[in-house]
Structure 1
Amino acid sequence: MFSIKNIVINSIKRPTLSLLSSRMSATSPEAKKMKIASNTIGTHSGTFHCDEVLAVFMLRNHPEFKSHGLLRSRDQSLLDQCDIVVDVGAVYDPSKKRYDHHQSTFQETFSSIRSDFGDKFGNIRLSSAGLVYVHYGEKIITEVLKQFDTTLTDNQLKSVFSKIYSGFIQEIDAIDNGVPQFDGEPKYRVNSHLSSRVKSFNPDWMDDKTPQEIDEAFEEAVKYVGNEFIEKIKFFALSWLPARKIVEEAVQNRLNVHDSGSIIELHRFCPWQEHLRDIEKDHGNVEIKFVIFNGGGRDNDFRVQAVPVEQGSFVCRKFINKKWFGLRDEELEKVSGIKGGKFVHATGFIGGNHTRDGALEMAIKSLVDDE
């Protein structure tokens, strides 16, 4: 039997996990006689990458695998004894819990496996992280959120699951498979992404580390990547998702704000731009022009913001009235004819008023009278 070394993988309370590691030639008689526990996660030994590091962490947060040990080896006779194997073995077969993506026949993407989400994620091939995520991700998210006393409805879980893939996992899939972000040579290289940071846990060419020390470095990388994964789940479930609900309610209530249906009011400020586009599609491709909200949590500080044509752009679907650009206070009140005016940005993408009704009037006037 392999020797077992206990390792705590992160600060979140969980059962202590075990590291199992092969120290002998795969062709030696000793190796061929070796037996390992069936409740073991298998992956390859040697240099490690972000995808299998994350895959191992995710599996350790799945109820079925959370008490499993870990085997890092390239001995196929040993890997065959594992309950589940990721990133090695040249086999993708969910029925046998084999999740490698290196074989030439492998062409699976998020959409090809999870057709219930359509083709919204393009044709980027999955890495071992992506494979584990598309097969086990919802259960893993649900399990992680128990630590924060949070449960999601089926629709909420679907939204968070989708967002974590597009906002975290897909990048790892693309980098591991060598997919460029765009055509042509980039003007600069990004060397601080998660995959690059995981690479730094490996020994460099001048290091003379033992296999055991490399395995220990792998566990440090698991802890590092795992903490970032947990933070993503927390963000999308506990921050991103509540914001979506606020925007959804605002779009549903738009006709009570103005009969054009082009102005929405947020009952509480939140990050709204990304959510708005998805929700507009859900409501038959409605197009919101202005968003009004309380700007600073005070009774005399309200905003009207123009909706950009793309998230983060300062080119808007419709700007605040151009006659008001750059005006403030009394001058703004005089030119606009609206009491309580505070300012309009010089580019016309946002303005302020002392009252909610004043901010709404600024939006309405900009909507119908911008000549």
Structure 2
Amino acid sequence: MSEHTPIGLDNSKGPIKALTHSGNFHVDETLGYVILHYALEPEGDLKARVLNGKSGDRLEFVRTRTPDIIKTADIVFDVGGVFDPATGRYDHHMKDKPLREDGTPYSAAGLLWKDYGAAAIRAILKEPVEDATVAAIWKSLDKSLVLPIDQDDNGVVKMGKLSLADIVSACGPAWDTAELYGQKEAKSREAQGFANAAFAVASHLVNMVDRVRASLKAASRVMAAYNAAEDKRILVMDTGMPTEKVIFENDLPVVYVVSPAGPDQWNVKAIPPVRGDFGQRVSLPEAWGGLERQKLADVSGVPDAVFAHPARFICGAGSRAGAVKMAQLALEIDAATKAASTKD
């Protein structure tokens, strides 16, 4: 994160002029603009500012390569040939380009994320959050979103098809637009394309911030439930939420997760041996596979049993107690089956 007070974040409300280059645009300067939007003036009109330069707020946005205009800007990114955050300069195209600690070159997005990312996150979340939560979200998105953009923009590792980089590129006008419609129309379509790209990137960033926030909340609840569990192999959650990530990151010996699947059903889901795999650490009993309601209740001995998937990775009951009982029985049956096979 930033080691100085970035321009515009010093509690002053004066106007800020941000500038990047005109012409073909990429995901790094598009995300860079989006970061500044949320960090400095999140209530402004993201698209109108691109098309008109201003949207009636403190943040002005310009796209140009004209040196004299570049000199007048408060924040310049992805153009200008200077990296000096203290003076609002965030280019990365020079020979001695700024590098991450692991040696990866920064893109304009990465440089702006370092200085303005935390402020952008706070604006997106809207509700007050602890510094530790903001730092955790910043770190997660730096790794999952910003670093790949740094790598792609600097020719280190290319982002895949249908990536955010591809989506941004697709917003730009076709190469022969000026030839077909003239320079004025081509310039107009370029500006509209950047505005559309910024809107798409902003939506993606907002969604990712919210998902990471929810993931941190889930991690806290999963660990609390695990610590309270009598049998550490059965994790009982009172609310449905992602659990697999926390289980594997903390190397928890959880075999089944019991959680509500609706007002009248609780499910038992088997955890795979490897995160994201199709297998199960312990499959549900073979005799249950594909059965429903009374037939399953008769075989399992759980009166409110609802279903058991033929692949034996998930089953359900009409109550919390019923689902927990199914998980307990599945473990008992597995242990008995293994014991019998050992004797043979």
TM-score by length of 1: 0.70
Matched, 1:132 2:102: no
Matched with 1:5 is: none
Residue identity in the other structure for 1:308: P
Residue deviations 1:89-110 (CA, integer Å, cap 9, x gap): 333332232222223433623x
Distance 1:211 1:54, change over 3 A: farther
Contact 1:251 1:264 in 2 (8 A): no
Residue deviations 1:224-267 (CA, integer Å, cap 9, x gap): 2333344345434545534542452232132544x232222221
Q: Distance in 1 between matches of 2:210 and 2:268?
A: 26
Matched with 2:47 is: none
Matched with 1:205 is: 175
Matched with 2:320 is: 356
Contact 1:163 1:236 in 2 (8 A): no
Q: Which of the residues 325, 340, 350 maps onto 2:289?
A: 325
Distance 1:253 1:206, change over 3 A: closer
Q: Distance in 2 between matches of 1:198 and 1:222?
A: 8
Distance 1:194 1:70, change over 3 A: same
Matched with 2:53 is: none
Matched with 2:27 is: 50
Report the CA distance between 1:139 and its aligned residue: 0.3
Distance 1:214 1:71, change over 3 A: farther
Q: Which of the residues 79, 82, 87 maps onto 1:88?
A: 79
Contact 1:53 1:218 in 2 (8 A): no
Q: Which of the residues 272, 280, 288 maps onto 2:243?
A: 272
Q: Distance in 2 between matches of 1:339 and 1:181?
A: 55
Matched, 1:294 2:250: no
Matched with 1:18 is: none
Residue deviations 1:171-199 (CA, integer Å, cap 9, x gap): 433332334469xxxxxx72x33322322
Distance 1:227 1:62, change over 3 A: same
Residue identity in the other structure for 2:75: I
Q: Distance in 1 between matches of 2:193 and 2:121?
A: 20
Q: Distance in 2 between matches of 1:178 and 1:70?
A: 27
Q: Identity, % of aligned pairs?
A: 26
159-168 or 349-358, which moves further after superposition?
A: 159-168
Matched with 1:21 is: none
287-296 or 74-83, which moves further after superposition?
A: 74-83
Larger relative helix fraction: 2
> Any idea what SS the aligned residue of 1:320 has?
coil
Contact 2:257 2:270 in 1 (8 A): yes
Q: Distance in 1 between matches of 2:68 and 2:103?
A: 34
Aligned residues: 305
Q: Distance in 1 between matches of 2:208 and 2:71?
A: 37
Q: Distance in 2 between matches of 1:290 and 1:181?
A: 38
Contact 2:173 2:190 in 1 (8 A): no
Contact 2:256 2:269 in 1 (8 A): yes
Q: How does 1:232-251 map to 2 (within 5 A)?
A: 232-238=204-210, 240-242=212-214, 244-251=216-223
Q: Distance in 1 between matches of 2:211 and 2:294?
A: 38
Report the CA distance between 1:303 and its aligned residue: 0.2
Matched with 1:225 is: 197
Q: How does 1:332-351 map to 2 (within 5 A)?
A: 332-351=296-315
Q: How does 1:101-120 map to 2 (within 5 A)?
A: 101-106=92-97, 108-109=99-100, 112=101
Matched, 1:174 2:151: yes
Residue deviations 1:324-369 (CA, integer Å, cap 9, x gap): 3333333333333333222222222111112211211222233343
332-341 or 358-367, which moves further after superposition?
A: 332-341
Q: Distance in 1 between matches of 2:287 and 2:132?
A: 44
Residue identity in the other structure for 2:245: E
Contact 1:46 1:211 in 2 (8 A): no
Report the CA distance between 1:317 and its aligned residue: 2.8
Distance 1:128 1:344, change over 3 A: same
TM-score by length of 2: 0.75
Q: Distance in 1 between matches of 2:165 and 2:234?
A: 42
Gaps of 5+ in 1: 1-37, 113-121, 183-188
Gaps of 5+ in 2: 1-14, 43-56, 338-344
Matched with 1:62 is: 39
> Any idea what SS the aligned residue of 2:177 has?
coil
Contact 2:257 2:268 in 1 (8 A): yes
Q: Distance in 2 between matches of 1:123 and 1:309?
A: 34
